[in-house]
Amino acid sequence: MELKITLPESEMPRQWYNALPDLPTPLAPPLDPQTKQPVDPAQLELIFPKAVIEQELSSQRWLPIPEPVLDIYRLYRPTPLVRAERLEKALGVKCKIYYKNESVSPAGSHKPNTAIPQAYYNKMEGVRRISTETGAGQWGTALSFACSQLGLDCTVYMVKVSYTQKPYRRILINAYGGEIFPSPSENTKTGRAMLAQDPDCTGSLGLAISEAVEDAATHDDTRYALGSVLNHVLHHQTIIGLEVEKQLAMIGAKPDYLVGCVGGGSNFAGLVLPFLPRKLAGEKIRFIAVEPKACPTLTRGQFRYDYGDVAKLTPLLKMHTLGHAFMPAPIHAGGLRYHGGAPIVCNLANEGVVESTAYFQTECFEAAKLFLRTEGFLPAPETSHAIKAAIETAKQAGPDESVVFLYSGHGLLDLASYDAFLQGKLTDFAYPESNITEALKACPDVD
């Protein structure tokens, strides 16, 4: 059997899947942060292009992928589905393990899948510049790549601790033509206020979102792009799972377990959502979401309305949350350090359709080391969480079962993190319940 299952370019999906019509329980609407009433779509036009707003609220199950987007996708898509045979042998398991390798994109992760269409829709509406946030730098890299392809300027607010830990992400963003600021920054009112309050603040995704949204809202030629959480982002990422479904069919296989790491939830959703109709129809497929114990949104957060950012500029979303004021520990999986989650993923988790689990960063780096020494590729710290969960799942799986996990990004620009791990300098952190309780007190009361 071939190790790499490669889908012909002619078979690349030409539509994204929208899970909203298939959710067992309808998604709670986003609310205006002032009135607590459902958001008027016109309010979102200050920061988003109209085409993105239409996709965010669409009830259409299939969304056509524009031809110019497909043209850029063809630089790296379809991506390979790979049988992790050497990992199976090292573990001594009888099941089959596959990984969908999204690290082959120009930016090194799954993030261009939504960066490209978001940049395209902005370009079509005459936008000159896009502002955004980034945690570990994967999203900022992807958006700067997409903007370079489409002739747009790009401004990135990167969580300060990751800006320091991962200098090569900053260099790559600059190389693509983007400008980048450590968040909190002196560039926005929100950033200046946080620095006045805490000059040593290491930042959070919620804070970086506030800065990027403020930047877009205060400049007429600028719009905002988000790399995870929102519905349209998840729609764009479903090209992953749609390809996986075709690739498994090519070899007569079915997935028994689908595994992905979760920060905001877009890569996980991109893998599992295309299989949602099959699961709801009774097929035995388990959706396993993995997160860090230092940021346990799905495993320990509350399912309720909360702001998506620190400055309370975004609409209220019903999601699992640790509280918008949550300041995570400076773990190396910067892309998983978000207080909330995608409403679609949280909705399914609340319904019991999605399972969640959490691990310490050192055990995830151990899993990454095993993957590196068997399969040969160095995973991003975020991806190492999916590998850890896939390994634990495979140990419990039956001999005829298949475990499929999303290899969301490479770790070639995260070598400082691996250096700290190999030198024994990484520490584990489980977020204290008292801190979660305190952070949740700032959540708004919504009847």
Nearest to 80 by CA among 105, 55, 59: 105
Nearest to 18 by CA among 274, 204, 218: 274
Rg (CA), the chain: 20
Tokens linked to 205: 């995704």
Q: 4-11+63-108+230-441, what's its fold?
A: Rossmann fold (3.40.50)
390: helix, coil or strand?
helix
> What is residue 330's predicted lDDT score, i.e. its pLDDT?
65
Q: How confident is the model at residue 226 (pLDDT cuts 50, 70, 90)?
A: very high
Encode pLDDT of 321-368 as tens digits.
999 877 776 665 556 768 899 999 999 999 999 999 999 999 999 999
Q: How far apart are CA 348 and CA 3, in angstroms?
A: 32
Q: Which residues contact 323 (CB under 8 A, 6 or more apart)?
A: 306, 339, 436, 438, 439, 440, 441, 442, 443
Asked if 31 contacts 305 with a C-beta cutoff of 8 angstroms, the reply is: yes
Encode pLDDT of 46-104 as tens digits.
899 999 999 999 999 999 999 999 999 999 999 999 999 999 999 999 999 999 999 99
> What is residue 442's predicted lDDT score, i.e. its pLDDT?
86
* Per-domain residue ranges of the chain: 4-11+63-108+230-441
Encode pLDDT of 172-224 as tens digits.
999 999 999 999 999 999 999 999 999 999 998 889 989 999 999 999 999 99
> What is residue 326's predicted lDDT score, i.e. its pLDDT?
76
Asked if 408 contacts 267 with a C-beta cutoff of 8 angstroms, the reply is: yes
> Average pLDDT, stretch 224-252?
97
> Average pLDDT, stretch 385-407?
97
> What is residue 308's predicted lDDT score, i.e. its pLDDT?
85
Q: In whole numbers, what is the pLDDT of the chain averaged over residues?
A: 94
Encode pLDDT of 261-280 as tens digits.
999 999 999 999 999 999 99
Give this prediction's pTM: 0.95
Asked if pLDDT for residue 290 goes beyond 90, the answer is yes
